[in-house]
Amino acid sequence: MPGFNPGKVDVENRVIKSWEGKEVPYDVGVVIPPNEGEPFYEDMPIVDASNFVKADKHRLVQEGFDNIYAIGDCANYPTSKTASGARKQAEVLANNLVAKLRGREPRHTYSGHII
């Protein structure tokens, strides 16, 4: 829910309260904290406005470079920031690095699936 910053979960009344004082009733609540890239990257040309590395979501290559890769939480991919996602990305990256080392064109791509 954009613009809603969860502050407290009232389990007894089944309400999530925001820091701004708004309340949202729930039956089953799943709260995911906002993700932002590392402040370390701030103002670097390789990141977007949220400090995530700008990279091709299928090839996992940093925009504008063929030898810089991004996988996992640091990347700006429109998928969840999970270990299972990073594992799938690592498989693609490993296969493509082996291909490059063997003088072949990388052909593996990341589909966005995390399972």
Encode pLDDT of 43-57 as tens digits: 889 999 889 999 999
Helix (H, G, I), strand (E, B) or coil at 101: helix
What is the predicted pLDDT for the residue at 27? 92
Q: Is residue 108 part of a domain?
A: no
Tell me which residues of the chain have a pLDDT lower than 70.
1-2, 32-34
Model pTM? 0.70
What is the predicted pLDDT for the residue at 87? 94
**Same domain? 29 vs 55:** no
What is the predicted pLDDT for the residue at 59? 94
What is the predicted pLDDT for the residue at 35? 77
Q: Is residue 106 part of a domain?
A: no
Beta strands at 23-25 and 15-18: parallel, antiparallel or unpaired: antiparallel
**Same domain? 70 vs 29:** no
What is the predicted pLDDT for the residue at 109? 96
Q: Look at residues 107, 102, 77 and name the one whose alpha carbon lies nearest to residue 92.
A: 107
Domain span at residue 87 reads: 39-101
